[in-house]
Amino acid sequence: MASKGYDMTPTMYSPDGRIYQVEYAIETVKRGTLAIGVISKEGVIMAVEEKPRTLQSTDVTQKIFQVDYHIGVAAAGYIPDARVQVDNARFFSQGNRMTYDESVEVATVAKHLADQAHQFTQYGGVRPNGVSMIIAGVDQKGESIYVTDPSGTYVQFAAIAIGAGSDDVNAFLEKNYKDDLSLEDAAALAIAAINLKAEEKGGIKDIKMAKVSTESKIFEKVSEADLQKYSQNASKFVP
């Protein structure tokens, strides 16, 4: 690709209307391991593929974060950038609670994070964030999932995958997703979707998951025992 110096800054368009630094950041996302979000009639599911090193502690999830009681984030790409954005989202969410005495809406957090990402495409001396994030939760309006990307775009989805191999996984989700999924079926679908591209089919060893149920509106990590239970239903989604 002949960028001819137009990729030296995110503030410059190339003659064919491209911002190379933003495109490079989006390419970084495509090289990250999978992250998936699925809405069900009973809540939302966030699932990620994590491949820990041999002696690494697996108790702490590296790619799923809690923003507020009712909102979580799953990230793909350059995870340090995700951590900074999640800290920003937490501060914003708590500020909303202090100002308005109510929990922030998922869409408001998604727009805020997209606005922050967009700022890094407008100034010299900075680089775009190399991460996409799935913002999922249950608020006053019900269950919702949004995806932000390095350009500052944010889009709402019923089910979505980001990261390496996401095109094939999204085609799989489009084929198998239904509006009336239970929370358990949504979790099983997410496991089947990750295993679509995994080296070890049908396993849960490299899968981490969190959920927010419509009833509790509380972010919860999914235990390994529950993952094992959900994975038994994943076979009905296997192509």
**What CATH homologous superfamily does 21-232 map to?**
Aminohydrolase, N-terminal nucleophile (Ntn) domain (3.60.20.10)
Task: Among 118-127, 170-179, 213-222, name the one with the lowest average pLDDT.
Answer: 118-127
Do residues 47 and 209 touch, judged by C-beta distance below 8 A? Answer: yes
Highest mean pLDDT among 18-32, 51-65, 197-211: 18-32
User: What per-residue confidence (pLDDT) applies to 203?
Assistant: 76
Three-state SS for 122?
coil
| Residue 2's pLDDT band (cuts 50, 70, 90) | low
Domain range annotation of the chain: 21-232
Do residues 44 and 211 touch, judged by C-beta distance below 8 A? Answer: yes
User: What per-residue confidence (pLDDT) applies to 95?
Assistant: 96
pLDDT, mean of residues 145-165: 96
User: Which pTM value belongs to this model?
Assistant: 0.93
User: What's the N-to-C CA distance of the chain in angstroms?
Assistant: 36
Which of residues 36 and 1 earns the better pLDDT score?
36
User: What per-residue confidence (pLDDT) applies to 210?
Assistant: 97
